[in-house]
Each structure stands twice: as C-alpha cells, then as structure tokens.
Chains A and B, each alone.
Chain A
Amino acid sequence: MIRLDHLTKRYGATVAVDDVSLDIPAGAICALVGPSGAGKSTLLRLINRLIEPDGGCVQIGGAEAGTLPVVALRRRIGYVIQSVGLFPHWSVARNIATVPRLLGWETARIERRIDQLLDLVGLPPSLATRYPHELSGGQQQRVGVARALAAEPELLLMDEPFGAVDPVTRRTLQDALLEIQARTGTTIILVTHDVDEAVRLGTVIAFLSHGRLVQAASPAEMLRAPASAEVAAFFGGPRLGLRLLQTASAGERADFARTIAGEPVEAEAMLDEVVARMAAAGVTSLPVKDGQGRRGVISLDDVVAR
C-alpha cells in the first residue's frame, strides 16, 4: 500500500501540493487528474523524491520513503514520463537493463529479463539491438514502460505517459498497460489530463485542484457523485453518459438466467463496446459469454440502468 500522509510542497509563496493525504491499495491504478497547475506532477515527483516535501511523508509498503537512501528508493519505483527520456546512445536492450545493471544483476538474468519484458510490452525481440531514434513514438513509449518495470518495482509512476502519441496508438498503449498490470499486479500511479483515460485506466481517481485533493473515488462514483461543482464540470458535460458506459462491464449487467442466439460479447467488455455492437447490428439486446463459458443476455435497458 502507498500512503501519502499530509504531503505539502511549496515554491516560494505558492503551495504546489497542499496537505494531501491519500491511501492507494496495492495493485490499484490511481489516476491523478485535475486542471493544469493543480500539482499532479509535483505530487508524483514527491513520491520518488525527485523533489523533497516541505511537510508530511510518503509511506511505501509501511516504510517511510524519506528515511530510505534516495537512490535505493528510486530503483524500487518505476518511472515513465511523457517525453519517454530513453537514453539515445543506448540500444533498446541496454535501456531496459538500466535498473537491473544498477542493481548489479548477473548478465544472464538481465538478458532473460529483457526477453520477458519485450514480450510483456508487446515488442518483437528483434528490436532489442535497435536504438531509440529508430523506433516509432508508440514503440519508444513501450520501451519506456519496459525499462520502468525491469526490476519488478512495487510501484510504477507515470507522468502523462500517453500524452504525446496519436489517439489510436494511445488506445493501444492503454490496452497494453491494462494487460501488463493484470499480469504483474504492480501498483500504478498515473498523471493524466485526459478524463477518458482516467476513467478507462483508473481503479481509483484522485482529483486535485490548486494543490489540494478534492475527491478520491472510483470512476463510477466520481461520475455519479462529484464532490464539487469543479469536479462535476471536469467529468461531466455532454460526454458524461458515454463515460459512465466505460465504468461497468457487460458481465456486471447481464442476465445469465437466459440467452439468445447470435455472436456473443465477452463479459469483460465495457458497456460502451456493447452499445457500439448494438448500434452496428441494429439490435437492442445481445448474447453474453463469460470466462467460465456461461451464457447470458444484455439489453439496452440493462446498459443504461443506473
């Protein structure tokens, strides 16, 4: 578990992070959102001590981060930034091996780990010997994620990781991140200015404004019960209903007592995908199947129910 305990950071007269307390359970994906200048990135950088707090502390797995040697602490925390920051003079493999090398792993272990990670982030092994400038933006970001995960960190910090890639690539990378997180169980804290990304990726969303934590809740709760007008304006608007569709899966709404004929949707599919399938097929109900092979049915009424 990650505990932020009354964290405060001041720059002169401005308070960038103002008395923020937040518990993030192990294995969660916490999306930090809020307007520009809300202190999201500052908060993230306080966690791996790229900047030191003026008050409060960070606890990672029960240990206080401020008391650990800073270099050792950072090697336990993965970090991915928008501009990726790959080392341009090192091959992909050497980039991924950065932290394992710093930790003094044996060569054979590092090589095995590089193969595993390329597979994990969905890159072909042939890319290992390439240099960053030879890769596309999406590939570079995947290498960035692989490098951050190399030494199996308990915590992964991501600062607008998909902000600089095109929408299609962003969507692919988001899917890849969800799959990676499902496989590794790493706790992730992610800064984003993209509401849809926060709703799609976050298990918890923390809304910051002027350095203060305004609300921390699940995406569904954030959309349904915003704590302030500012939060409501940030998440709401004409797309509120569409975002709500991203917070529940077909399996949660389906009726497994009966089924109908047709090509079934997966139970894990989000409701927005179900609506898309309905609109494409011109129907108002669809068959559902889940991982255990159970079959059910979901109707448009189930989808829009609150």
Chain B
Amino acid sequence: MTHSTAQDGSLALPRARPGAPALAAAFILALCAVAGLAGFVSVAPNRLASGQPLPLWVASGPAVTFALVALAGLIAGLALAPRRPDRPLLVALASAMLVLGLVAATGEAATRLVAEGASGGGRLTRVSLGPAFWIWLVVALLVFADATGRIAALKLRFLLVLGLAAGLGGLAASGRLADLSLAREFAVNRDIFVEAVATHLGLTFGGLLLALPAGIAIGAYAAARGRRAGALFAGLNLIQTIPSIALFALLIGPLTALTAALPALRALGLAGIGAFPALIALALYALLPVARAVAAALTAVPPATLEAGRAMGMTRTQLAREVTLPLALPILLEMARVVLVQLIGLTVLAALIGAGGLGTFIFRGLGQTAADLVLLGALATIALALAAHLALGLLIGLARPQGAA
C-alpha cells in the first residue's frame, strides 16, 4: 500500500480502512484537548531566559480560539460524515485553512505580546512556538496530506499543495510573522541562511551527480548479471551500514593524506575537510540506492518484450529509446525521489566536517541552546525534502506509461 501511495506522488499516509475516519476524528479531537491545555506560544524576556507558556486562549483570545476549534471540529465532522466524493477535497481545504490559521494566530499573538513587553520596558521580549502549536500543526498537516492523497486528479492535488505553500509564503512575506522569535532569528541570519540553502542543495545534488555514473554502471552490470551481482550489492550494503557521522569523519584522514601527497588537488581547493569529503561521503551513500534503482528498473522490462523488439528489427538504440527507457523511467524516478530525500537529510551532517549547509544552523543552535536556530535549519531541511518529494512525484505522474497497470 505504501508502494502505491508513493507512486501517486502524494504525501499520503497509508490508505485508511473503513473504520479509520471515525478513529481519525477521535484522534483529532483528543489532540485538540491536550493541545488546549499546553502552551501555544511561550514568552521570554530575552533569548537566554526560559519562557513562560501561554495556552491558546490566553495568547490569542477567545475569538481566535473559537475559530480554530470550530475549524478542527468541521474536519472531524467531515471525517465522520457519510462518504461523499468531494470529501477529500473539503477536508484538504479545511485542513489547509487550519494550518494557515494556526500560523497566522502565532504571528498575531507574537506582535501583541512583543508590543506589551515593549510598553513594559522589556525590549528583548521573545515569543517562540509552544508544544500546543506543534501538535495542532502536525495533526493538521497529516490530515491535509492524507486528504490530498485521496484526491484522484494529480493536477488538483498539486494545486492544493502549491496553494498551501503559497499561503504560508504569503503570510511570511506580509510581515505578520515578523515578531516571532523564529522570524527574528531568520532576519538576523538572512544572508547566511540563503547561502546555507544554496550550499545544502549544491552538496546534495553534487553527491548525487557523483554517484550517478558509477551507480548506473553498477546497476546495469547487475541487471545483466542477474544473481551473480549479489557480491557487488553486499559490498555496497556494507557502506550503508557505516554510521553516517562516522563515514564523514572517516574520510577526513585519507583525504587529508591524499591532498597532502598531491598538491595539484590542493590547488583545486580540495581538502580533507569541507565540501570535498562531504561530497564523497554523500556519493558513497547514494551509490547503493542508485545502483539498485537502475538494476531494478532494467530487470523490470519483460525479457519477452525486449526479444520481440529485437526480432521486429529494432536497432539497439531504438530498443533502448522506445522500449527500455519508457518502461524503466517511472521506477528510476521513484528511486531518485527516495535517494534525493535521503540525501537532503544526510547533508545536514556535512556541517560537522565544515562543509556548510543547513546543518550549520542546527549545530550552531545546539551549541548555543538556541532552539529557534535549530528550528530554522530543521524546518528548511524538511521543506527542501518535501519540495523534492513533490517535484519528483509530479515527474513520476507525467512519466508513467499509460499502458502500465
């Protein structure tokens, strides 16, 4: 089941069994109750002091609380309502509104609390996001993902996701969120942040590009050899079992020795720490999934189909272009999606060996016990991974041959 939802290019959870909507509704309501008691935002006089949690009705007032709870109730009601064809769309729209409403509410609360703090003489008042907000948000996003996954029309699905992303972007751009501590952290670090995103993407795609030639060659060899390629994959599996932090660290020694022995490499800007070992570690990690993807994609083409193509008088290039590639492409893209999402996450660790990227924020934040800095790096990483997941999902939807059942 996870397999086919993944093919749909959605964020979908495993498809629900008949009793699931009622369970989902109960789940949502229970979480809302818990979330109602916990802190929605937390207010601290400065960056170092620990904050004081404020529940939603204190932070945002009864009107906003009522509106958000009503929206959550509407979603729960829809989940319980008799099955109707447009239910997924309605649930998706309502949960998207809930997400936007939650984020907007934190922004409003922050603006008001900061203003109150300023009038009280505290110029460094910080308003950060509390556990209740995160619980609400995660539940709302899960419901949204599940609902969009049930919408059959690929275009509509992507419109909804793009709409939500645009809504969040619009809220951020409007300045309504500017008084949240997360936004302030971003404002202070804007230039470094943009650079970190660029470095992060560069490392991820660089690692993938490095892995592609070898991975494709190994995969094609394995597909041609069938079972006898087992030893090859065992070797690649071994690389995957090395803990990722260890692999990054392990490469520092040999690569330092290598660059010391070959000044030509040093002249190219390659060193034992920094981007060079990070790219190699990422490429090594990508190697197994890439090789497996290529082998799986190539062996998925039925041998009888290839023989028929040959017997019809197709040349090797015609056979590759018109038969093998179209039949293998959806599987390749599917695997590319997995590899890319995995690498985006792994690239965070590259910051540990001085390669930069979004990990810089996470580890700096951890060092300074600045949760907002950690959050900034983590949220951006998640956003990148989601964007890659969705973009490739769209490609997969377009590349899927019509005839493939």
Contacts and interface: CB of A to CB of B under 8 A. Distances in A.
Partners in one complex: yes
B313 A85 contact: no
Interface in A86-116: 86-91, 98-99, 102
Contact of B313 (A72, A87, A89): A72
Interface size class of A (residues with CB under 8 A): 20 to 34
Interface string B291-321: 0000000000010111111111111001000
Contact of A90 (B304, B306, B315, B403): B403
B310 A74 contact: yes
Contacts of B311: 48, 50, 74, 77, 79, 81, 157
Contacts of B318: 102
A157 B318 CA distance: 22
A146 interface: no
B363 to A, nearest CB: 47
Interface residues of B, number: 22
B contacts with A: majority SS: helix
B59 to A, nearest CB: 56
A84 interface: yes
Contacts of A85: 302, 304-309
Interface in B384-401: 401
A71 B305 contact: no
Given A102-B314, A131-B402, A87 B309 contact: yes
A259 interface: no
Contacts of B404: 88-89, 133
Contacts of A90: 403
B405 interface: yes
Contacts of A226: none
B151 to A, nearest CB: 24
Given A85-B302, A85-B304, A89-B327, A74 B403 contact: no
B307 A81 contact: yes
Given A81-B304, A83-B304, A84-B304, A133 B313 contact: no
Interface string A146-167: 0100000000010000000000
A75 B307 contact: no
A132 interface: yes
Contacts of B310: 50, 74
A77 B311 CA distance: 8
Given A81-B308, A131-B402, A133-B405, A88 B313 contact: no
21 contacts: A50-B310, A71-B314, A71-B315, A74-B313, A79-B308, A79-B311, A81-B304, A81-B307, A81-B311, A83-B302, A85-B302, A85-B304, A85-B307, A89-B401, A98-B312, A98-B314, A99-B313, A102-B313, A133-B405, A147-B312, A157-B311
Interface of B: 302, 304-315, 318, 323, 326-327, 401-405
Interface of A: 48, 50, 71-75, 77, 79, 81, 83-91, 98-99, 102, 131-133, 147, 157
